[in-house]
Structure 1
Amino acid sequence: MKGIFTLFVFIVYIHHACGQANTCPANIDFESGSFTNWQCYTGFTSVSNNKNTITVSPSPPVTGRHTLYAKGAATTVDPYGLFPINPPDGSGYAVRLGNNINGSEAERITYQFTVPTNSKDASLTYRYAVVFQDPGHDQIEQPRFIARMLDVQTNSYLTCASSEYIATASLPGFQVSSVDASVKFKTWSSVFLNLDAYAGKTLQLEFTTADCTRGAHWGYAYIDVGECNVTASAHYDCKVNIASFKGPGGFQEYKWYDDNFKTYLGTGENLVLDPAPEIHTINVVVIPYNGFGCSDTLQASINPILPLANAGNDTLVCPGKQITIGTPGDNRFTYAWSPASFLSDTTVAQPVGTMPGPATYIVTVTSIESGCVDKDTMNITVFQPIDVTVSPDQTICEGQTVNLQAQGSAVQYSWSPGYGLSRSNIANPVAAPTTTTTYRVVGFDGHQCFTDTGFVKVNVNPKPRVDVGPDVVQATGTTYTLAPKTQNGPIVSWKWTPANDLSCDTCSAPVASVKKSITYRATVTNQNGCVGTDSMSIKTFCLNTQVFIPNAFTPDGDGLNDVLMVRGKGIALVRSFRIFSRWGELVFEKTNFPPNDPAFGWDGKVRGVTGPAEVYVYMADVVCENDLINTYKGNVTLLK
């Protein structure tokens, strides 16, 4: 490989801005002038299984491979790229990782830290510069520079925070060295890493340089670490109505948009809007250089700069009771309250006052930085005594309910006893006591200033008890006298339902004509207007003995026993009545007629003349008054 010379140089800068509220981890910026808290490694690079492999082991800092450069040192520029070896931002130290000695060397430094659990705008910025000569080897043999961030818990590298440069014939953003045309370099560039998603996690920052694997080409890197916990910022000058916005350093492009990304506002790390927009929040999309770091969207808000006066909500207070007005303050603003009457201090955000009567206060909030002013007003009403009125005493019957009603200027109510109430904490509960009860209601004003009390008595009259007796079974065609018993009288009215087949429906002991099965309900009312009910059922049956058909008759016209007919009681209908001769001839038939009616009987005639004196057979189908059907068969003798 003689005659082929590869130079590979990376310079990475990570800078900690002093004076920030959120500081970087200790010495991550090398500003102690040492490698304290950093771990150094040395090793070699090779090709294994057709893959570039870097093998390193922990070691103390090795001069020439892990070299600190103080700002203002004798060697101030890189010999190939001719750019400053310290970044142009005032950093006190930078580290060169690697050297220009052949031998397939590899170097690494790592720094482990934990992102605070409640960190806001957690971020890290580093800067780098790159110099190398492309030897034209296969890619797996080429010199390279790797910058990565490791999630220690999962042992996986963060995708956007892990980048690798491999020497190739053409690299974007690189220049050809004026000292050696075979050398390419890239001067200082920045990478911004948003770490908000890793709050509470332990991360490891890692930088690695490696020469070519054949051993004849080498590289080195300068490293320095930058700002922590920065994001886009905003400043508003209300006197001239100009808003200025600044993005974090280290990106190739900045694209500014309004709060909902509908309007494109401009580009560049700094944005000035004159006049200031009405919106308070601006979005900036930041795009890194050549794949180092991730594109991200950050927000800058002018809300913290503008005073937002908040005197507090309008409120009610008890007479003579202290009250704190206003809202928590901010040391970026000054406060002035007016009028000063009854306030402890008119220059604080939350003064204390004891107001004897209604009052209105105005707070004026002024931004110390911008001089912007905002005002707000709050009204104080001093609470007055309340009154509670309740509905008059009520009378109900046992088992009934009544609505109780409390009225007045109270906002809360409490009833006692709670027995028999639907709810005890509303103005209008439903009461259902079983005995006479006096209820007490207390009204509250809601501010523990005043209460008022009222009473209402609910008189409970007993309802009458009526017992109409047990269910009974009766034959159709009979009668049954209802004989109920009562309590809690005197009973002033009766009502029986249904009224079917009753001798009366408003008397105490009606007589029922038994026809069909039925349930009677008695409703009684006592002198207090209270109502009681009871019911009983009459179940019916129909006996064979309820139908009578003679076994002989004499149709001789003497007016005595001249007609054979169906007689009975409790019979609703005779469906059919048929007479047969002894030879089986049908000599008489009637259908669907009432019983006990000679008009539907047989007068003894057969084909228009009185039949011979002999024995005949009859069949009768009858329907009882309870709708049961019975069939009767028998013999009858016609006598002359």
Structure 2
Amino acid sequence: MCFKRSVIFFVLLLVACCAFAQCPENIGFELGTLKNWVCYTGIIPDQTGSTPIEWSAPVPPVPGRHQIIKNSSPQILDPYGGFPINAPNSSQYSVQLGNVDHSSSHGDKQAYAEKMTYDFRVPSDDYTLIYYYAVVFQNPPDHDQYQQPQFIANVHNLDNPGDDGGQCGSFSFTASAGLQGFKNSTTDKTVYYKPWSPITIKISGKKNKRFQLEFITRDCSKGGHFGYAYIDFNESNCESPITGNQYCAGQNTVTLTAPAGFETYTWTDASGATVSQTPTLKLSQPLPPDGTQYNLHIIPYTGLGCENAFTTTIQKNNESFNLQVVQNMAGCKADGIDLTQASVTAGSTPGMKYEYYTDPDGQNFISDPKRIVETGDYYIRGTNTFGCTDIAKIHLDLYDGATVTVTPPQPVCEPATIDLTKLVTTNEAGVSYSYYSDALLQKQLTTAQAAAINKTGTYYVKVVGFKVPCVTIKSVDLVISKLPVLSNTPIAYKSCPPLNLNKAIATLGDNGSVTYKFYMDAAGTVPVTNPANIIVSGNYYYKAINEYGCESINKPLIKATVVDPPVFTVTDPAAVVFPQTIDLTDTHPTLADAAFTYWKDAAATKPLDNYQAVGQSGTYYIKAINSTGCVVINPVHVLINAPPEANLVAANTFTPNGDGVNDEFRPTTEGVITLNYIKIFNRYGKEIFETKQLYNRWNGTIDGKPEPAGTYYWVFSAYDIYRKKVVTKSGSVTIIR
């Protein structure tokens, strides 16, 4: 999955001629709406990136994608580039283009894009726009360039499409780690950002033509994640990008100031001579006469706009002008200093408009002048209603509060207290302390109360510095634990041995993290060595200890009664031979107060059903339980010996002569068997006798006719019941006549 770029795009538009007496309505969003702007949403339908964006018809501003943002103090920083998202030109509103949704392409599989446009008529034949921007991209590592996220800025000639008066005004950035001027984010190594930079757009020879400004942010074509843009136009000056060409009575200097952020500046006088190559041209006494002209040539960084030339005319005004700025102020870093407060410029000409900078040339706006938190020199530009302007320095000293160290205390047990005043130390002498029991610092404690805290809670210490009254506030959690409270009602605990005193305590219910100690005596001097193995009836005592080590004072009683278990002996039975069985009820005596059951396992979980006819060797278990529920389980060992293997035993001769002696073939069997058959064969392999009953004998005849003397052969087949297998034997027998 690819990631959508984060695009932070800040724009400051300055009109480079006098055609607009006022800025186009709401170009800088100062109405707090998107009036006169047209919004679109788009879909990138093809992951290859080769298919154009499919744009919607104009839509109302979509929350999260075309969102008005009001500037705030303290200012919000971009999470990737770390620069302020407040508009840097003292305006009140900007626009967020895109959103911060990290889910896959706004919840589905397609990549998205956003667009905003603003239409206007070119007021002159030599018209220049200058805007400032910053860009942040998340750079997918496995994409082709045409699949990457993009930021696009276009200038369109609506009357003559394709003829925009200079291609340097339209450009695009495609996410890449190697983009010129971009830096790697410290918060996300996949993100690259470009801090504030200017772009120039020069439209020549197009007076009265309809033009359009267009700004686009788009996902990578494979389907991206979050993306957003902030856009702001400066509505304070749409006449000329050069300020300071007016000077009023009482001014001793004139400073012409160019727009910030270009690579080179060249100021020349009417003769063409270079008079400065910095962003400002400072003129002092004697000031140039009214109507004196100066020229400015600016060159942007490569690929970032058009070269441009401007002319400004010095104009003298007889109105009074006075810019008064306090030279030094001190404050606390935690609070910051508000440069916009009236006391900072008290005594200045009424109706003055102020702008705030970090440099004496007025090139770097302070995006949040209401809260300066760093020591240093700052600069305030004042401009009266006639356009006369000057800039003055103010030095600010910002101090940290005293360094305060809090030593967390160990919990204590009632009735002990904690001295909060001894837990806090500082590195600064002469500080003052105050103590509170609430986070809003509304419930102050006296020093005596703070020195004897007797209630668990979070307390607050406010430390005010001596040299500079900066405040440091620290919180500290104090635990003054209550003692566990136990009922003095004795616990009657009756059970079979061994008794477990912890089970007696369990009848009290859930006491949270409380643990217990047990004693042989009420004084708690003789501990019970093994409270889980009590075999003697008697009185035992206990106390409770909570999670903070606080112990109960009283030691309630446990009256423990050890119930006698059933007593019986088991005699292992004599061994028998299979298929004989053993009756386990014969291995132990009967008990009047106990019932017996029989089991295959020592835990008595697998019952033995045939305990009166056990036919398999092994260890079995006899369980006795009496009327009080006490249980004793004893083993019994059973040995069932194996019988002989299935076999046929027979004489090797017999004499069927009718004398009543050895007249028949009379075999016998060994083992526990089921007879399959006994067969007799003559010497030619012919079967002459078969029986499946052992008591059937062969008398040496076939069909009543005697067989001749000689040797015959028998085959015996039987199923060995004990060994669970078929056994086959063979042998010979001889008839003697």
Indicate the TM-score class for this superposition, using the shorter chain for normalisation: 0.3 to 0.5
Give the structure-1-normalised TM-score. 0.42
* Structure possessing the higher radius of gyration over alpha carbons: 1
Give the structure-2-normalised TM-score. 0.37
* Greater share of strand: 1
